[in-house]
Amino acid sequence: MKTKEYVLAAALLLSGLPLVAHHAVSAEFDDKKIVTLKGVISKVDWVNPHIFVYFDAKDENGKVTTWRLQSVPPMFFKGSGLTREKLSDGSDATVTVYPAKDGTEGFGFLVKLTYADGHFYNLGGGAAGPGPGAAPAK
Amino acid sequence: MRFTLTIGLTSFALCAFGQAPTQATNYGPPATSYVMEAAKYPDAAKKPTPHTADGHPDLNGVWHHYFGNLIAPVGDKSFTLDFRKSFGGANAPRATPDPEPQYKPEYLAKVKMLSENQVKEDGTLHCRPPGVPRIGPPQQIVMTPKQAVFLYADITGNQWRVIPLDGHSHSTDPDADFTADGDSVGHWEGDTLVVDVTRLGDDTWLADNGLFHSLKLHVTERLRRVGDTIQYQMTAEDPKVLAQPWTITRTLTLQFDTLGEAPACVDNDAGHYVNSEHHDNGR
């Protein structure tokens, strides 16, 4: 399920009504493209209306580029057990990203983080694989 | 899912004359969140209604949280957004749709224009305060005999209103500002706290989807404690742009934890939108 659709499902549930997307990801990010990066999270900005994850991506030549990745609202995390500290633990990770449509380099929407031991934080609702996070059909 | 969206938009496009041709109104924090809080404490309204020393119903307390628990653990260390699990699946409680504000016909085009350009025109998407009434019912109330303080941990940041209860009248200062939360005064009518709000600035909206208002907006909030609930009613009257008053009701359920501070709101999106695709707001 694409993020555009998951946010629509979120809006349906949040309101109990057929609304359009809670967050029009597609007005800002290209959900037709997936960029895969390897590196570490260097910082998490725990701010409304969406948290921002800073990801130091390292290419094959060892060059490091810091990506600024938008994610979901901080309220989504309340009571879940996934904390800011867990997000910023500094371990090597692979991240999948929707890049910015306006061409801003190093700016994107965080879809999924996967760590070397296999554990993951899927904040994109299944775009990186259907998994149990896929939103219901309505 | 796209089919569902099409149906929804079509049904609202066919709405009655005089009604804004918008998507369903999303007033205040998501209506479903109140229903889900009520479902967790089903006998709340049957509890005794406590009173303060001055004899009025005790409105002190935390009365609402935005959604939490939307990210679910998977296995030992993984997490995923899981709306299905978080909301209890098909049997999850759902809110009854709110009535739509009825605009005078000559203002429908403006509502449509604002709604179609919501990513630019809606200040709350850029960390500006939602204002009254869009801020919704109080999330926490602090009562003293002479004042009520309404607190909100909003997605736009922390908001607050101080409401005098000591017979204050509205400001008569012709230079007093029109503001997002306006000029509130409160009084008791029996067991109901009535809050009267004027001087509301016109750069905030009644709700999302371009539902603007004029400087003539007058809001009346009524709060009546019933057991461990508050029956909340908001009526917005704007004789300039609305064809009739618009009333929203919510049942608030007493919460037994703290409100918590809203993280600061930082507008990182402005300048990155490449089109006006609609951005609804969970407010």
For the segment B209-220, what is each residue's pLDDT rounded down to a tens digit? 999 999 999 999
Q: Grade residue A24 by pLDDT with cuts at 50, 70 and 90.
A: low
Q: Residue A122 has what pLDDT?
A: 92
Do A48 and B92 make contact, defined as CB atoms within 8 angstroms? no
- Cβ contact, residue pair B1, A47, below 8 Å: no
| Closest residue by Cα to residue B148 from B223, B74, B81 | B223
* Of the listed ranges A122-136, B33-47, B85-99, the one predicted with least confidence: A122-136
The residue to which tokens 């061409």 are assigned: A103
B279–A15 C-beta distance less than 8 A: no
Compute the average pLDDT of residues B200-211: 95
**Which structural domains are found in chain A, ordered by start?**
27-122 (2.40.50)
> Chain B within 8 Å of A54 (Cβ-Cβ)?
no
Instruction: Tell me what pLDDT residue A63 has.
Output: 94
Average pLDDT of chain B? Answer: 86
Residue B224 has pLDDT above 60, yes or no: yes
Q: What is the pLDDT of residues B83-136, one digit of tens each?
A: 666 666 666 777 888 999 999 999 999 999 999 888 889 999 899 999 999 999
- DSSP-H helix ranges across B40-126: 83-86, 108-116, 118-121
Q: Which residue has the higher pLDDT, A36 or B19?
A: A36
Residue in A closest to B69 by C-alpha: A80
pLDDT score at B196: 98
Nearest to A79 among B69, B262, B268 (CB): B69
Over pLDDT 90: what percentage of chain B? 63
Q: How far apart are CA B252 and CA B232, in angstroms?
A: 7
Residue B34 has pLDDT above 70, yes or no: yes
b/e code B67-103 from CB counts within 10 Å (16+ = b): bbbbbbebeeebbbbbbbbbbeeeebebbeebebbbb
pLDDT at position B88: 62
Residue A116 near chain B (CB below 8 Å):
no
B83 with A10: Cβ contact below 8 A: yes
3-class DSSP assignment, residue B242: strand
Give contacts of A133 with chain B, Cβ < 8 Å: 72, 74, 80-82
Give pTM, 2 decimals: 0.83
Which sign does the torsion angle of CA A59, A64, A70, A72 carry? positive
Look at residue A18 in the predicted model and tell me its pLDDT: 26
Quick one: pLDDT band at residue A14, thresholds 50, 70, 90? very low
Residue of A5, A12, A15, A47 to mutate, interface with B, max B Cβ within 10 Å: A15
Pick the residue from chain A with its C-alpha nearest to B8: A18
Quick check: B273 and A10 CB within 8 A?
no
Stronger pLDDT, B278 or A111, i.e. the higher one: A111
Cβ contact (<8 Å) for A9 and B1?
A: yes
Is residue B21 over pLDDT 70?
no
Answer with the residue of higher pLDDT: A82 or A3: A82
What's the sign of the alpha-carbon dihedral B81, B82, B83, B87? negative
Q: Which residues of B touch A122 (CB under 8 A)?
A: 74, 78-81
Q: What pLDDT is recorded for position A52?
A: 93
A100 interface with B at CB cutoff 8 Å: yes
Q: Does the beta carbon of A137 lie under 8 angstroms from any beta carbon of chain B? A: yes
pLDDT of B95 reads 84
Q: Is residue A68 a contact partner of residue A42, using CB atoms and an 8 Å limit?
A: no
Of B77, B82, B274, which is closest to A133 when you measure between CB atoms? Answer: B82
CB A72 within 8 A of CB A127: no
Q: Do the Cβ atoms of B84 and A136 come within 8 Å? A: yes
